[in-house]
Amino acid sequence: MTPNKSNNYCCGGGGGFLQSGYTEERRAYGKIKFDQIIETGADYCITGCHNCHAQVHDIGHHFGGSYGTVHVWTLICLSLGILGPNERAYLGDDLKEVDVFHPETSLF
């Protein structure tokens, strides 16, 4: 995304704003992040915290985005083969049935 790192835009859901009750204001601010995500053309937006996940998911739905929103820990658990079926709710059809960990090929 551009800008990125320390110059990146906030999604608009942090600092308690997600629970503040100012939904339209939160979404209006989040439109900056939505446009930034859409510009990447990505199928998924990976988020690091619950507030970002909920906000990025909400603005995607509200503004008609086609990307999925997943927690980084969801992808870590998926890669380790420990993501349960009920924890796959935010994964698209391309990832819902993936079981990456193969103990028979493990070195341990």
Block means of pLDDT (10 residues each) for the chain, 108 residues, are: 90 87 94 96 94 95 96 89 82 83 56
How far apart, in whole angstroms, are the C-alpha atoms of residue 63 and residue 93? 21
Query: DSSP readout, 18-47?
Result: GGSS-HHHHHHHHHHHHHHHHHHT-SEEEE
Per-residue pLDDT tens for 42-73? 999 999 888 999 999 999 999 999 999 999 99
> Which residues, including other chains, have CB under 8 Å from residue 66's CB and lie 6 or more apart?
43, 60
Helix extents (H) in the chain? 23-40, 50-62, 72-80
Global confidence as pTM: 0.84
